[in-house]
Chains A and B, each alone.
Chain A
Amino acid sequence: AQKVTQAQTEISVVEKEDVTLDCVYETRDTTYYLFWYKQPPSGELVFLIRRNSFDEQNEISGRYSWNFQKSTSSFNFTITASQVVDSAVYFCALSEHTYNAGNNRKLIWGLGTSLAVNP
């Protein structure tokens, strides 16, 4: 069965600390996509990154970096030098390549990690 596990429910750090959010997934498909979304207290889900299953290169975007390892079915997210504005709930999600009815994709969501960055 397809599943996304975010084992860390809540993380609290002090500003400028580095923090890693873990994401482990299960899928039977060989082609799939992984995502991270950020949800600040305002409620909007902000898209951060998409990674397809054939691209295991790590990615860096400013203070954000992502480590994709197919061997361990993990797609971890690291924030370097965290800031108060990084406080949010972060969701990891899996989108399967196999099309369902109407050629749509469904996102399978982890339960989210609530990150609090304290000044």
Chain B
Amino acid sequence: DTEVTQTPKHLVMGMTNKKSLKCEQHMGHRAMYWYKQKAKKPPELMFVYSYEKLSINESVPSRFSPECPNSSLLNLHLHALQPEDSALYLCASSQGPGEKTQYFGPGTRLLVL
């Protein structure tokens, strides 16, 4: 079962709001990823967690704050976002940090007003 779930599916927020995106996998994977995808573009890597520790931050603005409470869960906390942050946010997981295949969730479509 290669399933990664994400909630919510859609999110509309104002620039002063605080919200969180959630991602969950029950495949026993030990690496989890956040990507941002704008329309008609490939995904852009934001963060990588390996064994519940942040191992890669691709110079993402501090208004995005990742959290990995346990090996199955990954959160992305959002605060004071800008309209240009509107995008599809994808979560992925892989068996390990060196594992070759990433499996993606359905994504959260975020609109910042």
Taking a contact as CB atoms under 8 Å apart, the answer to whether A43 and B88 are in contact is yes
Interface window among A67-75, A79-87, A96-104: A96-104
Q: Are A104 and B98 within 8 A (Cβ)?
A: yes
A102 to B45 CA separation, bound complex (whole angstroms): 15
Is the C-beta of B104 less than 8 angstroms from some C-beta in chain A? Answer: yes
Residues of B within 8 A of A35 (CB): 101
Docked pose: A52 CA to B101 CA in angstroms? 11
Q: Is B43 an interface residue (CB 8 A)?
A: yes
Residue A7, interface by CB 8 Å: no
A33 in the interface, Cβ–Cβ < 8 Å? yes
Q: Find B104's partner among A45, A99, A102 (CB 8 Å cutoff).
A: A45
Contact of A91 among B42, B55, B56 (CB under 8 A): B42
| B25 interface hit (Cβ, 8 Å) | no
A16 at the B interface (CB under 8 A):
no
12 other contacts beyond A45-B43, A106-B56, with CB at 8 A cut-off? A37-B104, A45-B92, A46-B104, A50-B101, A93-B42, A99-B98, A102-B56, A104-B56, A104-B98, A107-B45, A111-B41, A114-B40
Residues of chain B having any CB pair with chain A under 8 Å: 2, 31, 40-43, 45, 48, 50, 53, 55-56, 88, 90, 92, 97-107, 109
Footprint of B on A, CB under 8 Å? 33, 35, 37, 42-47, 50, 52, 91, 93, 95, 99-107, 109-112, 114
